[in-house]
Structure 1
Amino acid sequence: MEFCLQVEMSLRMLKAGKHVLQEKPAAADVTEAKTALTSYESLSAHLPHQPIWAVAENYRFEPAFVECKKLMNEIGDMMNVQVIVEGSMNNSNPYFSSSWRRNFTGGFILDMGVHFIAGLRMVVGCEVTTVSAITSHVDVTLPPPDNISALFQLENGCAGVFVMVVSSKSPKILWRVVGSKGTLQVDRGNKDGRHGYMVSHYKADGHCQSSFYPFSGVNEELKAFVHDISKANLQDGCSYEAEPRSSYSEGARDVAVLEAMLESGLKNGAQVNVKKF
């Protein structure tokens, strides 16, 4: 099987015994991800220890999502989840002309979308099992599709919506979880000139407690990777359990959710099961 460039390069370095922190998305599709994982797992038969393969998904390290996950226990039973993404991918964006980002099936929906699915999965703490989506292609300067509206169900039975507009004139990004005892919301924005996320906890008594967390996910994921390498080197000859938030499997699960949504879009909204790892 021919891999996309970042997966191919990662496997080459892993086979040479090097630890790898790969750019997201983990793969172009689920088939590629599963084949890559099989190749990776077979390395232990040829190397003294299995090198670390991490995916650079900074959203799982953003303090806002870490805090939101902690607060989930305070809002009771999940009743509904909403993820609204109105992006700003246009010719003024430095990533707009990146050819490799356009080469994925799903274009920027896949490339950008893995971040927002990672945030969703991080907060709710369970997997998406089924999806039903409608997609469209409006802005012809962007690869198709550039809009997606999906209904999804979590393994705990709770339902939610995922709406993503790749290029909007009024960008807005939020995650909202409605519970039986309160609501949690994460909004992307800025405060005092700093970009980051506002976490709002709406309590049962009507009061709202909000805290702002500046962006630091990239720094935190890099710290975790360096820490893992240091620990792995100290345990030379033995396998080391690396930070699970960076694992290739976690990145692949993000891809699986979006692939199911894109497949459903091609089938005019038919329900599609998310493939498991």
Structure 2
Amino acid sequence: MCWSFSQVVGNTQVELSLKMLKAGKHVIQEKPASESTTEAETALSVYNSFPSQFPYKPIWALAENYRFEPAFVESRKLMNDIGDMMNIQVIVEGSMNSSNPYFNSSWRRNFVGGFILDMGVHFIAGLRMLVGSEIATVSSISRHVDKALPPPDNICSLFQLENGCAGVFVFAVNSRSPKILWRVDGTKGTVQIERGIDSGKHGYQVLFSSENAQCQKTFYPFCGVNEELKAFVHDILQANKDGGHKAEPRSSYVEGARDVAVLEAMLESSAKQGALVQVKKL
């Protein structure tokens, strides 16, 4: 059996997930994984302490569709052809205003970080999926400009990956000109993923520029939600047959907690006037 919690449960979902897992039920939980890394660490400790009273270990999955979007899956493969990474840009100009159905969600406004945390985990998940290297340190400045939104509503961060490459993460929760893109420049080429519309379908335009100046463009319609649910159902069926089945790693609760850790470090850095902060390892 499985349970899936929607976003309406918000900051109570970790507690509910653990109750279902303890009862032997497989769980797919909405993002963000937690309100903080402290909550995530405590939850993982509880989950790992459950006695082996079932023929299988209940699966704890996180519904992060960005890790299942074909645009990111295929772009990760293209990264092998751009040589050494030189710099990274993540630009997010969102459209979270009163016309958005999530705008008035009370629980989103109770998070430390508000929409920066709630929305931001998607963009961090996309970044980590694309570059294949963990974010080690951040230095950030955030501000609260739009008073209709919970603070902060925009953040600018310089980050460095464990492989040494640096990049910028710029996120405005509400903008007059919405735009979302990830761009990695390498010694032999460039990969860029940009959200857009093609032939009436919403999705991502992937641009790959090689060292011979050729540009390859491919559009991938959204289907990450369907793919993550397919993976979860597959894992349930396999786990019920084989107690040693390893669940899809892209769905793991730990991956979602690591997205939270990056944003938590960015918010901590901003509270310290841009001081360098190490991202907590989970």
Structure-1 residue corresponding to 2:146: 139
1:240-271 superposed Cα distances (whole Å, 9 cap, x missing partner): 21000000000000000000000001011000
Aligned: 1:87 with 2:112: no
Structure-2 residue corresponding to 1:9: 16
Quick one: which of 99, 114, 121 aligns to 1:114? 121
Structure-1 residue corresponding to 2:256: 251
Structure-2 residue corresponding to 1:216: 223
1:172 alignment partner AA: K
2:275 alignment partner AA: A
1:66-119 superposed Cα distances (whole Å, 9 cap, x missing partner): 000000010000000000000000000011011122111000000000000000
Asked if structure 1 preserves the Cα contact closer than 8 Å seen for 2:56 and 2:240, the reply is no
1:29-69 superposed Cα distances (whole Å, 9 cap, x missing partner): 00000000001111144444320000000000000000000
Quick one: which of 246, 254, 274 aligns to 1:269? 274
Structure-2 residue corresponding to 1:101: 108
- Secondary structure class of the residue paired with 1:116: helix
Identity of aligned residues (%): 71
Structure-1 residue corresponding to 2:28: 21
Aligned: 1:125 with 2:132: yes
Structure-2 residue corresponding to 1:182: 189
2:125 alignment partner AA: A
1:244 alignment partner AA: P
Structure-2 residue corresponding to 1:154: 161
Distance 2:221 2:53 in 1: 43
1:134-177 superposed Cα distances (whole Å, 9 cap, x missing partner): 00000111110000000000000000000000000110000000
2:144 alignment partner AA: H
Structure-1 residue corresponding to 2:73: 66
2:197 alignment partner AA: N
Deviates more, 1:43-52 or 1:88-97: 43-52
Aligned residues: 273
Asked if structure 2 preserves the Cα contact closer than 8 Å seen for 1:149 and 1:162, the reply is yes
**Runs of 5+ consecutive residues of structure 1 not aligned to the other structure:** none
- Secondary structure class of the residue paired with 1:187: strand
Asked if structure 2 preserves the Cα contact closer than 8 Å seen for 1:132 and 1:270, the reply is yes
1:208 alignment partner AA: C
Aligned: 1:42 with 2:43: no
**Runs of 5+ consecutive residues of structure 2 not aligned to the other structure:** 1-9
Asked if structure 1 preserves the Cα contact closer than 8 Å seen for 2:91 and 2:171, the reply is yes
Asked if structure 2 preserves the Cα contact closer than 8 Å seen for 1:130 and 1:272, the reply is yes
1:203 alignment partner AA: S
- Secondary structure class of the residue paired with 1:96: coil
2:169 alignment partner AA: F
The structural deviation recorded for 1:185 is 0.2
Q: For the structure 1 residues 44 and 240, does the alpha-carbon distance in structure 2 shift closer, same or farther, using more than 3 Å as the test?
A: farther
Cα RMSD of the aligned pairs, angstroms, is 1.0
1:203-224 superposed Cα distances (whole Å, 9 cap, x missing partner): 1111110000000000000000
2:109 alignment partner AA: R
- TM-score normalised over the length of structure 1: 0.97
Distance 1:125 1:213 in 2: 20
Distance 1:133 1:111 in 2: 18
